[in-house]
Amino acid sequence: MDIPLTLASGTALEPSGVTVLFLSLAVLLGLARLLGEIARRLHQPSVLGEILAGVLLGPTVLSQISPSVYAFVFPSTGATFIALEGLFITSAALLLLVAGLEVDLTAAFRQGKAAIAVSLLGLVIPFLLGVVAAQWAPGFMGIGEGARDNQLAFTLFVGIAVSITALPVIAKILIDLNMFKSDMGMLIMSAATINDVVGWIVFAFILALLHTAADPSGVAVATQANGVPSVGMTITLTIVFLVFMLSLGRYLLHRSLPFVQAHTTWPGGVLSFVLVIALGCAAFTEWIGVHSIFGAFIAGVAMGASSHLRERTRETIHQFITNIFAPLFFASIGLRVNFISAFDPGLILVVLLIACTGKVSGCFLGAKWTGMSTRESSAVGFGMAAQGAMGIILGQLARAADLITDELFVAIIIMALLTSLVSGPMMQKLLRRPTKRVLADLLSDRQFILQLKAVGVREAIAELSQRAAEILDLDPAMIDREVQHREQTMSTGIGNGLAVPHARLTEIKKPMVVIGRSPHGVDFNAPDGRTARLIFLLLTPRDDQTSQIELLRLIATTFSNEETYQRALDAASTTEFLAVLRVGDSEAPEHI
Amino acid sequence: MDIPLTLASGTALEPSGVTVLFLSLAVLLGLARLLGEIARRLHQPSVLGEILAGVLLGPTVLSQISPSVYAFVFPSTGATFIALEGLFITSAALLLLVAGLEVDLTAAFRQGKAAIAVSLLGLVIPFLLGVVAAQWAPGFMGIGEGARDNQLAFTLFVGIAVSITALPVIAKILIDLNMFKSDMGMLIMSAATINDVVGWIVFAFILALLHTAADPSGVAVATQANGVPSVGMTITLTIVFLVFMLSLGRYLLHRSLPFVQAHTTWPGGVLSFVLVIALGCAAFTEWIGVHSIFGAFIAGVAMGASSHLRERTRETIHQFITNIFAPLFFASIGLRVNFISAFDPGLILVVLLIACTGKVSGCFLGAKWTGMSTRESSAVGFGMAAQGAMGIILGQLARAADLITDELFVAIIIMALLTSLVSGPMMQKLLRRPTKRVLADLLSDRQFILQLKAVGVREAIAELSQRAAEILDLDPAMIDREVQHREQTMSTGIGNGLAVPHARLTEIKKPMVVIGRSPHGVDFNAPDGRTARLIFLLLTPRDDQTSQIELLRLIATTFSNEETYQRALDAASTTEFLAVLRVGDSEAPEHI
């Protein structure tokens, strides 16, 4: 189901091609990660920045500015192009493996009726809306050349494209809102899980349908001559594969994992085992005609819930794939399409409308039906609306199969991104949840005093208050007075070499931290008798009930790790100090 | 410098090609890891099994048995072939990145005179022997078509090929012998480090020389038309690159790492940063004409020693690359050559002789010169002889550049493998070191009693002794008596729910462990008052002074981790128990 390519004959991976291969990878990965990080700093999903990198480096921008540079770095024919395609396809499969590994079907069904109701209504309503739109106005909706003879496949695709959810994005949102383990979090995760698995299965059937439609083009004929099964066979084999992998296959894998772990080096053996299974399933599903990434996803689902798959294995797979392969894949999307010439505001609006209203109202109704309040049901609806990576991958496949036009492809990507951007803030607003705070995000260079001059408690507080006042443009004496006053009621040395003098001020709107490092330690009268070498001045708004205690907890947990504490003392600059903090902060896993 | 390929025109990565791509990867990775694991179980480097996998799947075996299966799974032309080539080239570069990351130049030079003496004599003597042989009998030694006009490059290559060492293999051997941190271990590591870096630099110059020689063939002319620099330029740029990367570049990277860590998500940001730098350097060195993997290696060297590169980042890179990319690359080597038809016993013998005598005697003299004993100097010599992965990569590059014949290529691979196999056992023999023991290696299914019936200490010991006697074919009453006797002198409950009744027997030749799990716990009178739920019967030979205490330490440290302990109690089968043990055991990192 890939873009048919024409190659200049005699092309091969020569040294110049290898140079371009590594150059392309370095530029793509570098810019994708850079913009991805910027997106995250703006509290947006990193996939936004990663796709933008591709847009900047692709036909939309770079090719307009300098066609020759674009043609050199990202050739669109030849051996390097094929080698890159191979890497992108592998990246997509590995990405879906990771998505599959996060699926816990057993836990999802354990949530019972509520999860199923939210999931199915959230799937059926946008699906129906999409189907109606595609059936009613296929031309406007962007039916592709490859679907002219098979409108059913196009119609079903539009239905699925507006009703899929993005499990990883949703997980990330819930973690950020600190409600991943809450009842509502579990419900949303379960519903999204069922939604995803059902959605992908329907998509596999669309690809099977398309298998016939593509025949006249000559591509599938050639492959069928290679011994690829017919459509009836494709559907039968897909069902057999699915049923096998989610029942006996899942059981066998669960039983195999401890065996592999017992008899191979660790964690390498399990790591390779997981990849071999995923690659094998990918080859199988590609062979039967439903795309490799479906096989990789189902392989992930079959292994992900196994209690024998250890955290360290997951972590290694997850880190490497989400930080290397995922950015490469998402950036590669922008390399293929001109986002400006294929930008159709009307179509984008319609797709957005269908996806949002369909998804939110469907899930709202499902949640309402199981007895939730209107406010909670709305939160569930918005929580489920994030389409993120999944919608983008679907769009990419459909476009490669020529099922949709570039216009619809661009509309789907924008819809997938916008729903992911809106989902978190809407839930937060509806539930009035504070976001999870990360210490390093609150800090800038000016908020560090690497060498406190003070020897005693009073001077230390004065020195820190002075700095806080400079940054906040407030009266230093006032801050000092408030903090000293608080310090007298009870000493703020909390042990482990830490002290947290603090005050609540009416004058400020958000929390402020200033960190001072004392070369010899200041005696804050800590319970363990240690002098404080790291002193945190915490200033929080008077009417903010939670920030102070949360910051206290953050500081205590971050520096309870002796290595983090020691590294903080050794840091040679504020940047190094910040680096230490960021490592100490990161407990929750990252998600796409 | 890659094999020139001819492509059928119009070839592209179609679905059938994607199927084959994933199938090839799954088969290669699966068999390579399987045989690699078997090699490790036989206490051999895993690279041995990985290469064997390629030999089995390549022209040597599979193609002889079933040419059609071979041609289908590993096509030698077309889009899938190019995509696989691209992945193998990327794998090689990443592998060298990992090798580079393990280099600590500062620590190596800190070892001073001794390391430099061992390293240089160990480099110069085999190098001279190789050069003499190549100069004297180029035909016999296997000069390739591509070097006919440039015999100097061939001569220098043979010199380097017999004098390089394999840092990762040596590190692994030293860890296994538990002498990585010993004085001799540090000396060997430092000498090997200097040896490797110097060797690679010389190799880069050989490639630069070859750059002209290749001109008449048309390939380099074509690339030079693309703006690739001339030979003089290549050498100049190589020197500039090297000097920059190992001085200012190294410093800048060291300073950048905390910045990246401070301002990006962790550990993903640093992970991507390391890869982008490596890919960029790979592209640069490929462009100037000295192969991408040299750039990746030097990038690794420039970042590896930075104290800002955290263990977790290294670990993720290391695990993913050594367990996925390295096996793919090593297996791919066997796919290219027929090891039987290119097997030349005379040549193999000569290459082995030059490499072994040259290396061992060179390092021996270097070590002797710095005042080591004859026995120690010999151990250093054999420690440095392991060529492993590095020799193989060099051979692979030279063959791709047509610098050497298939015969010499096969001889180099066999020499690299044999030196790696011999190095560890020879050192062990010379130094009389015990190998590092891993608990799981001592155990088989019969050595577990998952449900001890015993309630008291006497019965528990009797039950375990009975089982031990069955396995050892000895008298149960004798074993029971010895262990009970020892137990009466002092109780063997060591706390944390563990007990280790034990005895030393004249009747056995090697240590024997039987593990019993008690559902309710047996009171072995432990200092912490906890009853023992895991009871280890340890039987060691009477004249073995160290095994007993070593096993005790292994058990105590493995199960001091509460999660390991709990999982061991929960394990549903002996296989699961073994799996838990293997995870608990693995502290040392794996190496190629």
Give residue-wise pLDDT tens across range B160-202: 888 888 777 787 778 777 777 778 888 888 888 888 888 888 8
User: Are B24 and B90 found together in one domain?
Assistant: yes
Residue B584 C-alpha from the chain's centroid: 21
Q: Do B223 and A23 touch (CB under 8 A)?
A: no
Helices (H), A102-112: 105-110
Tell me the helices (H) and strands (E) count for chain A, helix number first.
27, 6
Give residue-wise pLDDT tens across range B350-359: 999 999 999 9
Instruction: Out of B126-130, B219-223, B315-319, pick the least confident.
Output: B219-223
State what percent of residues in chain A have pLDDT above 70: 92
Give residue-wise pLDDT tens across range A42-97: 877 788 889 899 999 999 999 999 999 998 899 888 888 889 989 998 998 998 89
DSSP state of B448: E
Nearest to B85 among A13, A219, A581 (CB): A13
Instruction: Give domain status of residue A1, yes or no.
Output: no
Q: Do B219 and A308 touch (CB under 8 A)?
A: no
State what percent of residues in chain A have pLDDT above 90: 24
Q: Which residues of A touch B13 (CB under 8 A)?
A: 2, 5, 82, 85-86, 89
Last residue of a domain, one of B367, B397, B431: B431
Q: Which residues of B touch A575 (CB under 8 A)?
A: 258-259, 262
Give residue-wise pLDDT tens across range B132-146: 999 998 888 888 887
Instruction: Tell me the pLDDT band of B440, cut-offs 50, 70 and 90.
Output: confident
Q: What is the 3-state secondary structure of B201-225?
A: HHHHHHHHHHHHHCHHHCHHHHHHH
Instruction: Give domain status of residue A482, yes or no.
Output: yes
State yes or no: pLDDT of A5 exceeds 50: no
Output the domain CATH number for residue A171. Answer: 1.20.1530.20
User: Are A39 and A178 found together in one domain?
Assistant: yes
State yes or no: pLDDT of B335 exceeds 90: no
Mean pLDDT of all residues in A238-264 = 89
Residue A167 C-alpha from the chain's centroid: 9
Q: Do A12 and B19 touch (CB under 8 A)?
A: no
pLDDT of residue A225: 42
State yes or no: pLDDT of A488 exceeds 60: yes
User: Are A242 and A272 found together in one domain?
Assistant: yes
Instruction: Give domain status of residue A34, yes or no.
Output: yes
State yes or no: pLDDT of A214 exceeds 50: no
Rg (CA), chain B: 27
Mean pLDDT of all residues in B317-337 = 87
State yes or no: pLDDT of B378 exceeds 80: yes
Please tell me the distance in Å from A281's CA to the nearest CA on chain B: 9
Mean pLDDT of all residues in B80-108 = 86
Asked if residues B283 and A13 have their Cβ atoms less than 8 Å apart, the reply is no
State yes or no: pLDDT of A10 exceeds 50: no
Best mutation target among B25, B74, B257, B558 (most A Cβ atoms within 10 Å) is: B25
Per the listing, tokens 């294929």 go with: A342
Give residue-wise pLDDT tens across range B471-498: 888 899 999 998 998 888 888 888 888 8
Instruction: Tell me the pLDDT band of A25, cut-offs 50, 70 and 90.
Output: very high
pLDDT of residue A221: 35
Instruction: Out of A116-125, B396-405, B436-445, pick the least confident.
Output: B436-445
pLDDT of residue A433: 67
pLDDT of residue A77: 81
Query: How does the average pLDDT of chain A come out, rounded?
Result: 83
Instruction: Tell me the pLDDT band of A567, cut-offs 50, 70 and 90.
Output: confident
Mean pLDDT of all residues in B526-534 = 86
pLDDT of residue A250: 92
Per the listing, tokens 């992998």 go with: A245
Which one, of A590, A464, A587, A468, lies nearest residue A535 by Cα? A464
User: Are A311 and A419 found together in one domain?
Assistant: yes
pLDDT of residue A151: 86
pLDDT of residue A134: 92
Query: How does the average pLDDT of chain B come out, rounded?
Result: 83
Q: Which residues of B touch A20 (CB under 8 A)?
A: 283
pLDDT of residue B576: 82
Last residue of a domain, one of A431, A447, A464: A431
Q: Which helix (H) or strand (E) holds A147?
A: none
State yes or no: pLDDT of A22 exceeds 90: yes
3-state class (DSSP) for residue A11 = coil
Domain coverage including residue B253:
15-431
Give residue-wise pLDDT tens across range A415-469: 988 888 888 888 888 887 666 667 777 777 788 888 888 888 999 999 999 999 9
Q: Do B322 and A268 touch (CB under 8 A)?
A: yes
Tokens of residue B523, six digits: 């009171």
User: Are A70 and A132 found together in one domain?
Assistant: yes
Please tell me the distance in Å from B26's CA to the nearest CA on chain A: 5
Q: Which residues of A touch B40 (CB under 8 A)?
A: 265
pLDDT of residue B212: 53
Instruction: Give domain status of residue B591, yes or no.
Output: no
Best mutation target among B21, B237, B255, B325 (most A Cβ atoms within 10 Å) is: B21
Instruction: Tell me the pLDDT band of A11, cut-offs 50, 70 and 90.
Output: very low
State yes or no: pLDDT of B586 exceeds 70: no
Instruction: Give domain status of residue B7, yes or no.
Output: no
What is the C-alpha separation between B559 and B531, in angstroms, rounded? 15
Active site residues of B: 502
Q: Do A583 and B219 touch (CB under 8 A)?
A: no
Which one, of B322, B391, B334, lies nearest residue B164 by Cα? B391
User: Are B311 and B268 found together in one domain?
Assistant: yes
pLDDT of residue B211: 63
User: Are B415 and B556 found together in one domain?
Assistant: no
pLDDT of residue B436: 61
Q: Is pLDDT larger for residue A382 or for residue B432?
A: A382
Q: How many domains does chain B have?
A: 2
State yes or no: pLDDT of B274 exceeds 90: yes
- pTM comes to 0.79
Q: Do A82 and B82 touch (CB under 8 A)?
A: yes
Instruction: Tell me the pLDDT band of A216, cut-offs 50, 70 and 90.
Output: very low
User: Are B497 and B566 found together in one domain?
Assistant: yes
Which one, of B74, B57, B62, lies nearest residue B20 by Cα? B74
Asked if residues B572 and B591 have their Cβ atoms less than 8 Å apart, the reply is no
User: Are B207 and B308 found together in one domain?
Assistant: yes
State yes or no: pLDDT of A114 exceeds 90: no
Asked if residues B60 and B340 have their Cβ atoms less than 8 Å apart, the reply is yes
Instruction: Give domain status of residue B499, yes or no.
Output: yes
Q: Which residues of A touch B257 (CB under 8 A)?
A: 579
Give residue-wise pLDDT tens across range A177-201: 777 777 888 888 888 888 888 888 8
Last residue of a domain, one of A389, A410, A431: A431
Q: Which amino acid is at A551?
A: L
Tokens of residue A513, six digits: 């931290």
State yes or no: pLDDT of B525 exceeds 70: yes
Instruction: Give domain status of residue A312, yes or no.
Output: yes
Q: How far is CA B259 from CA A233, A342, B50, B191, B265, in A?
A: 55, 39, 39, 33, 12
| Main-chain dihedrals φ then ψ at residue A372, nearest 5 degrees | -80, 160
Q: Do A275 and B22 touch (CB under 8 A)?
A: no
User: Are B459 and B421 found together in one domain?
Assistant: no
pLDDT of residue A347: 94
Q: Do B324 and A272 touch (CB under 8 A)?
A: yes
What is the C-alpha separation between B438 and A307, in angstroms, rounded? 24
Best mutation target among B272, B315, B561 (most A Cβ atoms within 10 Å) is: B272
User: Are B370 and B483 found together in one domain?
Assistant: no
Q: Which residues contact B147 (CB under 8 A, 6 or more apart)?
A: B153, B154, B157, B210, B213, B402, B403, B404
Mean pLDDT of all residues in A570-586 = 76
Instruction: Give domain status of residue A271, yes or no.
Output: yes
Residue B200 C-alpha from the chain's centroid: 18
Asked if residues A339 and A102 have their Cβ atoms less than 8 Å apart, the reply is no
Q: Which residues contact A52 (CB under 8 A, 6 or more apart)?
A: A35, A39, A334
Per the listing, tokens 């080597």 go with: B333
Q: Which residue of A has its CA nearest to B221?
A: A16
Instruction: Out of A209-218, A268-277, A278-287, A470-479, pick the least confident.
Output: A209-218
3-state class (DSSP) for residue A514 = strand
Active site residues of A: 502
Mean pLDDT of all residues in A231-236 = 81
pLDDT of residue A15: 75
Pairing mode, if any, of strands A502-505 and A532-541? parallel
State what percent of residues in chain B have pLDDT above 90: 24
What is the C-alpha separation between A398 and A404, in angstroms, rounded? 6
What is the DSSP code string of B387-427? -HHHHHHHHHHHHHTT-B-HHHHHHHHHHHHHHHHHHHHHH
Please tell me the distance in Å from A276's CA to the nearest CA on chain B: 5
Output the domain CATH number for residue A524. Answer: 3.40.930.10
Which one, of B326, B342, B343, lies nearest residue B51 by Cα? B326
Give residue-wise pLDDT tens across range B112-125: 788 888 998 999 99
User: Are B401 and B494 found together in one domain?
Assistant: no
Asked if residues A539 and A479 have their Cβ atoms less than 8 Å apart, the reply is yes
State what percent of residues in chain B have pLDDT above 70: 92
Instruction: Tell me the pLDDT band of A343, cut-offs 50, 70 and 90.
Output: very high
Instruction: Tell me the pLDDT band of B589, cut-offs 50, 70 and 90.
Output: very low
